[in-house]
Amino acid sequence: MAERKKKTIHDFRWRFGVKLVAMIAALGGTAAYASARYTIGLDTQEHRCLDEWIYVIDTWKKPTADDVQRFDYVAVALTAEQTPANAKWRPGHVMVKRAVATDPGDQVEITREGINFSHGEEIWAHGTALEAAEMIGSTPEAFEREFQLAEGELFLMGDNVNSYDGRYYGPVREEQIVGTVLWAW
């Protein structure tokens, strides 16, 4: 009968090393995948646009404008034309807002007295007006207007009266959506 070779400490170190390298590779791969796919957004402003301040955004799952329902959170990147001159962010910065008008044909009326929406017989309003106009260096009158959403457009707003949102930059295009908001805390 053949004699079994006695295991040495060297054998155990070698096995442990292989397992450790495999575990590090698996964790590193998972971390690389997660960091490429997901973005964690933090709203650290004194007056946040929405009630939540932490957002997890799936950048590989971009909804179309047709997928977005009224009151969904939407992660978008504003264009240079939509970014005020005195902004603390650059064009392309990702923002999370609430979709308040989502269908082609939705009418949007922005006045100093309030924001009103309609589609056919349905009418709804948002409880804010143009409170932040002076903070961005303009007058409320400069933003008063009426328009109708076209195919592929969404009208987004924050919940805070001082939010910089669609009242000031107008509708966003489907191409500006950067991902799906998975969680908001």
Check whether residue 128 and residue 172 sit in a common domain: yes
Q: pLDDT of 135-158, one tens digit each?
A: 899 999 999 999 999 999 999 999
Same domain, 153 and 177: yes
pLDDT of residue 108: 98
DSSP, collapsed to helix, strand or coil, labels residue 174 as helix
Q: pLDDT of the chain along its 185 residues, tens only?
A: 667 777 776 677 878 888 999 999 999 999 999 999 999 999 988 888 899 999 999 999 999 999 999 999 999 999 999 999 888 889 999 999 999 999 999 999 999 999 999 999 999 998 889 999 998 999 999 999 999 999 999 999 999 999 999 999 999 999 999 999 999 99
165 part of a folded domain: yes
Domains in the chain, number: 2
- Domain containing 120 equals 43-184
Q: Of 159, 148, 144, give the one whose Cα is nearest residue 53.
A: 159
Q: Do 20 and 86 fall within a single domain?
A: no
d(CA 146, CA 153): 15
Neighbours of 87 (CB within 10 A): 13
Burial 14-46 (b: 16+ CB within 10 A, else e): eeeeeeeeeeeeeeeeeeeeeeeeeeebebeee
CA atoms within a 13 Å half-sphere pointing along the CA-CB vector of 46 = 1
Q: Classify residue 17: in a domain, yes or no.
A: yes
Looking at the fold, whether 13 and 101 belong to one and the same domain comes out as no
Q: What is the pLDDT of residue 127?
A: 84
23/73 same-domain check:
no
- Average pLDDT along the chain: 93
User: For the whole model, what pTM was predicted?
Assistant: 0.86
Number of CB atoms found within 10 A of residue 6's CB? 6
